[in-house]
Structure 1
Amino acid sequence: MPVLRWILSPISLIYLLIVWIRNKLYDKAILKSKSFDIPTIVIGNLAIGGTGKTPMTEYLIRLLTSHYTLATLSRGYGRKTSGFRYVEKTSTALEVGDEPLQFKNKFAKLTVTVCEDRCAGVEILRNSHQVILLDDAYQHRRLKPGFAILLFDFNSLFSTIITLPTGNFRDNFSASSRANLIVITKCPLRLSLSQQQQIEHRIRKHSKAPIFYSTIKYDQLKDSNHMPVAFDLSVYHILLLTGIANPQPLKEYLLSKVASIKQLTFADHHNYSETDYIKINSAFQNLEGNKIIITTEKDIHRLHEEILTTLPIYYIPIQLDFIADKEMFDEKVLNYLFHVQSVNEH
């Protein structure tokens, strides 16, 4: 961990205290949370970025969209607008954020919305939808969700859990007690019993929620028009362009499949500038032989049309894939919705 982060450790203690007091005020109803009769499912995490909230949201969309009139509601991180907005396929990442735009491009008939005030957003959507998925709203305690799915990155549970700014956690680990389901993401495919026991020992100090294990599944390479392409990647030198929290799994996936990789890394949700495009073009031109640029699905929505049409840029979509007990996970989500529906009908 960088020295600067340890220097900031006193601030982490202050941050930890503030978060603890805030949670206690909500737990004791001194600060009020608002609940809704419409089913609301929150997908969130305790750490910053990189836990797979977007693949989980997409998994739930695929699970539910044929049975319910569904809407997603996100903050729209990185957008330059404010207030409630419907996301259209013609929207830009600067208007609505990269993740909501990704949802709309993949699920054209889905209602995709952004609003920093989640309660206000649900109020607008509640009368015309049967279920609302709230992406990254676990800490938005003004809204009391009907069902909460909490994600942990596998590697984060094998290191010391420290809050910001020294560590990467934005909430106390005890906040996991509010979860209805817990999903460990980005697990190795050969997950050992010992690793599961270590994880469950840590979580069970705070939560009795069922624990599920998942990994990343990489889909077929696509072009900037979202059309699948078939390349023999082994003959290509790759410029790997990423503006996400943790690009390492994607790099590791590609290492054995390509001739070579040069990596160009930007911050999570980075809004690309003209200076960045000069840097990208220069890095690409410096590659030898057969060469292409591979980026992420989030980044493809933030790159300007000009660079997408002048350079050979492709992306690899990802999906969440359960290692086991997928049917049990689905059943618990569907049982919640069935229960709410039954209560509302009576």
Structure 2
Amino acid sequence: MKKILRILLFLPVSFVYGIVMYIRNILYDFGLLPSKEKNTAIISVGNLTVGGTGKTPHTEFIVSELQSLFRIAVLSRGYKRKTKGFVLANQKSNALEIGDEPMQMYLKFHGVPVAVSENRSKGIDELLNLYPALNAIVLDDAHQHRRIRPGLSILLTDYNRLYSRDSLLPGGNLRESKKQGARRADIIIVTKCPADMSAIDMRVIEHEVTPSMYHHVFFSSFVYDEPLPVFIRYADRLWLFKNIKQKKASVLLVTGIVSPQMILSHLKNYTDDIRHLQFRDHHEFTEKDIALIEKQFYEIPNQEKLILMTEKDAARLINNPIVPNSLKYHLYALPIRVKILNNKETALIKKITDYVEEDSRNRLLSKK
């Protein structure tokens, strides 16, 4: 009922917003606004809705599959960072400089350049100047950034919030028209699906979200790996495995993400004693927050205890001077990875690698 009331309340504004976005897309489609191709393969990962659809884990999935085959880089806007312009991640970077999600990817993929720039076109040019031999650049959250014409566009939609069932902002969560936005995609991935999703459910949703027969639809779910120390020099991984596996440890879960329900459900496999301290998405931790985390942690009577965070939340604490050494001994992150359902992982990877290979081959031929 609340959803319907919101749609009706904002209907006039949504109508005007929809017209503006429709005209904008038409101008790009007909070349009246410039959309540039770049001198390398460009893979865009994005969505049509505001809110989390799993862009960063899926970007990481693509990077993990491509990094051993090609020279690749990642370019993000760097949401909520305090800097401006082009910034290349380095060993001294922190989330305030480049954003929490780029920081997370930089920590995970050694040897893969990770950069941020609000102007994606200039960001790509900067990366190509620094790394002229790049075979591909993966753009994180770039579906609406139409100044760039990606060679491969991957559109994500949340299983629980399909774009096909949503409405335009501000009445709904759509950034642009369903039809216009979905038609630009080459691949559509329905994310956060149940691991045991039925074939019938897949067919129904595939029919619903596919704008044409030329689109390829895949389904994915999230898998949590073993917790890892946020600060390797301090935390004891062997202690963690011993106590977590035997369900002896108490957990203070600290989250600053849109939907913590999935991680809460997963933690019940480890312990019955879960305390949850929840912040808003992309929350910038302050000294007051750290003091609150410390207070709640030390109030847990069980001596076998730890603080658990998502990788994105943990990325905000790396190279952050407000974290005391005493707390670093207890901080762990829960890694998440993407699993492609229905035995279609190989098919998805092949479509991505085929594109990069063809692009590289065509560029070599054009130089002869």
TM-score, with length taken from structure 2: 0.87
1:155-174 matches, cutoff 5 A: 155-157=160-162, 160-174=165-179
Which residue does 2:306 correspond to in 1? 292
What is the percentage of aligned positions where both structures have the same residue? 37
Is residue 47–residue 170 contact of structure 1 (8 Å, CA) maintained in 2? yes
The root-mean-square deviation of aligned C-alpha atoms, in Å, is 2.2
Structure 1 residue matching 2:28: 3-state secondary structure: helix
2:79 & 2:272 partners in 1: Cα distance? Answer: 35
2:362 & 2:44 partners in 1: Cα distance? Answer: 20
How many pairs are equivalent? Answer: 346
| Cα 1:267/1:16, change in 2 over 3 Å | farther
Pick from 104, 107, 110 the counterpart of residue 108 of structure 1.
110
Note the C-alpha offset of 1:280.
2.3
Could you give the per-residue CA deviations for residues 155-182 of structure 1, whole angstroms, max 9, x where no partner exists?
1129830233332222222111111111
| Cα 1:138/1:305, change in 2 over 3 Å | same
Counterpart amino acid of residue 120 in structure 1: K
1:34 & 1:344 partners in 2: Cα distance? Answer: 16
Counterpart amino acid of residue 256 in structure 1: N
Which residue does 1:23 correspond to in 2? 25
Which residue does 1:282 correspond to in 2? 295
Note the C-alpha offset of 1:210.
0.6
Q: Which moved more, 1:205-214 or 1:52-61?
A: 205-214
Which residue does 1:309 correspond to in 2? 325
Is residue 11–residue 165 contact of structure 1 (8 Å, CA) maintained in 2? yes
1:41 aligns with 2:43: yes
Note the C-alpha offset of 1:225.
2.0
Is residue 48–residue 170 contact of structure 1 (8 Å, CA) maintained in 2? yes
| Cα 1:172/1:284, change in 2 over 3 Å | farther
Q: Which moved more, 1:55-64 or 1:111-120?
A: 55-64
Is residue 224–residue 308 contact of structure 1 (8 Å, CA) maintained in 2? no
1:318 aligns with 2:336: yes
Is residue 73–residue 112 contact of structure 2 (8 Å, CA) maintained in 1? yes
Pick from 218, 230, 233 the counterpart of residue 241 of structure 2.
230
Pick from 190, 211, 214 the counterpart of residue 208 of structure 1.
214
Q: Which moved more, 1:153-162 or 1:53-62?
A: 153-162
Which residue does 2:353 correspond to in 1? 334
Structure 2 residue matching 1:230: 3-state secondary structure: helix
Is residue 257–residue 282 contact of structure 2 (8 Å, CA) maintained in 1? yes
1:287 & 1:168 partners in 2: Cα distance? Answer: 39
1:70 & 1:205 partners in 2: Cα distance? Answer: 30
Q: Which moved more, 1:249-258 or 1:150-159?
A: 150-159
Counterpart amino acid of residue 332 in structure 2: Y
Which residue does 1:271 correspond to in 2? 284
| Cα 1:240/1:308, change in 2 over 3 Å | farther
Counterpart amino acid of residue 149 in structure 1: I
1:123 & 1:239 partners in 2: Cα distance? Answer: 43
Q: Which moved more, 1:107-116 or 1:303-312?
A: 303-312
Is residue 57–residue 338 contact of structure 2 (8 Å, CA) maintained in 1? yes
Is residue 242–residue 265 contact of structure 1 (8 Å, CA) maintained in 2? yes
| Cα 1:308/1:159, change in 2 over 3 Å | farther
Structure 2 residue matching 1:155: 3-state secondary structure: coil
| Cα 1:125/1:158, change in 2 over 3 Å | closer
Note the C-alpha offset of 1:309.
2.7
Counterpart amino acid of residue 183 in structure 1: I
1:116 & 1:159 partners in 2: Cα distance? Answer: 28
Note the C-alpha offset of 1:143.
0.6
Which residue does 1:14 correspond to in 2? 16
2:195 & 2:94 partners in 1: Cα distance? Answer: 36
2:23 & 2:213 partners in 1: Cα distance? Answer: 19
Is residue 231–residue 331 contact of structure 2 (8 Å, CA) maintained in 1? no
1:115 & 1:55 partners in 2: Cα distance? Answer: 20
Is residue 135–residue 360 contact of structure 2 (8 Å, CA) maintained in 1? no
| Cα 1:171/1:117, change in 2 over 3 Å | same
Note the C-alpha offset of 1:153.
1.2
| Cα 1:5/1:263, change in 2 over 3 Å | farther
Which residue does 1:117 correspond to in 2? 119
Which residue does 1:255 correspond to in 2? 268
TM-score, with length taken from structure 1: 0.93
Structure 1 residue matching 2:162: 3-state secondary structure: helix
Which residue does 2:143 correspond to in 1? 138
**Uncovered stretches (5+) of structure 2, i.e. residues with no partner:** none
| Cα 1:4/1:276, change in 2 over 3 Å | farther
| Cα 1:159/1:308, change in 2 over 3 Å | farther
Note the C-alpha offset of 1:137.
0.8
| Cα 1:180/1:165, change in 2 over 3 Å | same
